[in-house]
Chain A
Amino acid sequence: MVEAKTEVIYQRPESFTDVHTHYCPGCTHGVAHRLVAEVIDEMGLREKTIGVAPVGCSVFAYNYFEMDFVEAAHGRAPAMATGIKRVLPDNTVFTYQGDGDLASIGIAEIMHAAGRGENLTVIFINNAIYGMTGGQMAPTTLPGMKTTSSPYGRDVELAGYPLKMAELLAQMEGSGYIVRRSLHDASNIRKAKKAIRLAFEAQERGLGFSMVELLSSCPTNWSMSAQEALGFVEEKMLPVYPLGDYKVTPALQELRV
């Protein structure tokens, strides 16, 4: 006797609001948002989570998560999150930041949040460009990469080299979990989700500062189709930004999720 059973393999996470996002078609911000929402659902954290949105394309992130949210000044999300977490240590607090926000104007705040071992989770979107302002050079822009403010390609003699935030933050003793993942295909997206899960697990266990850097695409400002942009992440970004676990505190290494 054989009977068929219908399973729901995937549905929109509860922590995601019923709102059409303002992101461009194919932008991986949506993927990153969705993964965070899925992890928060799976861990049952929605009712105690406070998100901190940045300035940049994800400035309206608070519209897309069904949870308490605050909106920080440009780069200051880790400081704002510190303020929240220090007075509400039992709540879950995360920031969601782009590369201009985290690695340029907010580099002091992120380094010191990690240095203090703030028990926060940071989701870091690295798409090597300023999206919201229309495609200017970011601290993470690749050498030679053309942007509206590096129209002849990023000249490292004049504009310096890309900042590698996962590598930098892994040096901090206060960091508990620092990894880099990519969102360019399904298998990497699954790995990214597992990393986000571990980052939130680190926070729930009080294991210190956690950050997941996600290599992301910006089809609009890279002037590519959504699919071409994912190809650019794989071919051009991965060699500059190697994926990997840059710091995993021993207590987390044993955890299976």
Chain B
Amino acid sequence: MAKELLKGNEAFAEAAIRAGVEAFFGYPITPSTEFLEHMARRMPKLGRAFVQAESEVAAINMVYGAACTGKRVMTASSSPGVSLMMEGISYIAGTEVPAVIVNVMRGGPGLGNIAPSQGDYYQMIKGGGHGDYFPIVLAPATVQEAVDYISLAFDLAEKYLSIVHVVVDGNMGQMMEPAELPPMREISDEIPEWAVRGAKDRDPNILTSIYIDPEDEEITNLRLLRRWKEVEKNEVRFQEYQMDNPEILVIGFGTAGRVASSAVRDARAEGIPVGLLRPITLAPFPEGRLEELCDQVQRILVVEMNSGMMLDDVQKIVKGKVPVEFYGRLGGVTPLPDEILDEIRRVSKNEGEISGDPRDEWMDRLEKMRTGDQ
């Protein structure tokens, strides 16, 4: 199929439809609403389920119910809405049924704003809901990637009976970009053995997240952890750019990673030996690859649109082997390529150790830059 000019949210929704999603349940919230609107237009015409729920709480529990039937099901929302969904997400994880959740992240905490942000990193990557579980988190950086990974998200959800989050930010949800949609996939008529469809000619299936005996819950928690170890082994995805003997490694995901790639290209043109690692799976994180790169680079710069959340994970993996610096914009501000280019230039001249939390110096730099802006 040819490339078309597509609006992010609508392209993601259409990608889900073509991946065979049979039910969508959601609630309007900026900047993800076009996702719901596209589903409202398309799903009933295809004879598939669409419900605009009374709240995100209800929407995720509708997803939960439909997921228990073994059909492909999803929702899409944005940060405050996803916070409301965390209850249902934990139940879905505990029941071990597949579901896909798209989070078009916006500035927060609280009502925050509707501008693009990556401030939900902890909430999405570290679980967010209560209890021991491990969501798979995909972080595409272009509309095309999101289109491709939404289809992958369903496959992974079913393979690992897991929650799969696709995290994008308001930039990607709202931008128009050329992308190629996949062909319509046929809806599978296979019924998973665990699905509830009525106990005809078999024993009843019970789908629940309750294990009243702690020993049983422990077995379940261990099963989830073992399954997660399989995910870590098999499903790590990342993209590298300008990785010809880099001395400086920039790490960024989603929009921050995409902006950073422009800065890396310009820095290379200036002769700075810099490369980019862009994690596509934030969970599982490309830990092995980063460990390898620690032996090859002299300095790491983490770029995010939050207060340095992935930075924590990077530092945990780097273990102080290489100095790690940080540059972030917050609250719905997207960094410009030139800002990151300046950071790369600065880092390339900076040879000393970083004392303490790299965020301390970053905050000072950011304050100075902001004052200068005014």
Residues of A at the B interface (CB closer than 8 Å) are: 46-50, 52-53, 59, 62-63, 65-73, 76, 79-84, 86-88, 91-92, 108-109, 111-112, 116
| Chain B min CB distance to A71 (Å) | 4
Q: State whether the Cβ of B49 lies closer than 8 Å to any Cβ in chain A.
A: yes
Q: A47-B199, A48-B200, A71-B208 known; A112 and B61 CB under 8 Å?
A: no
In the complex, chain A residues whose CB is within 8 Å of the CB of B71: 87
- State the CA gap A154–B210 with chains docked (Å): 32
Interface size grouping (class) on chain B? 35 or more
Q: Do B63 and A68 touch across chains, with their CB atoms under 8 A apart?
A: no
| Chain B min CB distance to A200 (Å) | 14
Q: Do B197 and A86 touch across chains, with their CB atoms under 8 A apart?
A: no
Interface set, chain B 54-92, CB cutoff 8 A to A: 54-55, 57-59, 61-69, 71, 73, 87-88, 91
Q: A83-B63, A84-B68, A86-B62 known; A66 and B49 CB under 8 Å?
A: no
In the complex, chain A residues whose CB is within 8 Å of the CB of B67: 83
Q: State whether the Cβ of B325 lies closer than 8 Å to any Cβ in chain A.
A: no
Q: State whether the Cβ of B51 lies closer than 8 Å to any Cβ in chain A.
A: yes
With A69-B205, A109-B61 known, 17 other A-B pairs at CB within 8 A are A47-B200, A47-B201, A50-B196, A50-B197, A50-B198, A62-B208, A68-B198, A70-B95, A79-B59, A83-B23, A83-B62, A83-B63, A83-B66, A83-B73, A84-B68, A87-B71, A116-B51
Q: A76-B61, A87-B49, A87-B66 known; A108 and B54 CB under 8 Å?
A: yes
Q: Do B198 and A86 touch across chains, with their CB atoms under 8 A apart?
A: no
Total CB contacts across the A-B interface at under 8 A: 130
Q: A84-B66, A91-B198 known; A67 and B25 CB under 8 Å?
A: no
In the complex, chain A residues whose CB is within 8 Å of the CB of B320: none
In the complex, chain A residues whose CB is within 8 Å of the CB of B196: 50, 68-70, 84
| Chain A min CB distance to B99 (Å) | 10
Q: Do B199 and A68 touch across chains, with their CB atoms under 8 A apart?
A: yes
Q: Do A67 and B198 touch across chains, with their CB atoms under 8 A apart?
A: yes
Q: Do B54 and A80 touch across chains, with their CB atoms under 8 A apart?
A: no
- State the CA gap A86–B207 with chains docked (Å): 18
Considering only CB atoms, which chain B residue lies closest to A74 in the complex? B87
Q: Do B65 and A70 touch across chains, with their CB atoms under 8 A apart?
A: yes
- State the CA gap A52–B73 with chains docked (Å): 18
Q: A73-B88, A88-B69 known; A82 and B208 CB under 8 Å?
A: no
Q: Do A86 and B206 touch across chains, with their CB atoms under 8 A apart?
A: no
Q: Do A71 and B66 touch across chains, with their CB atoms under 8 A apart?
A: no
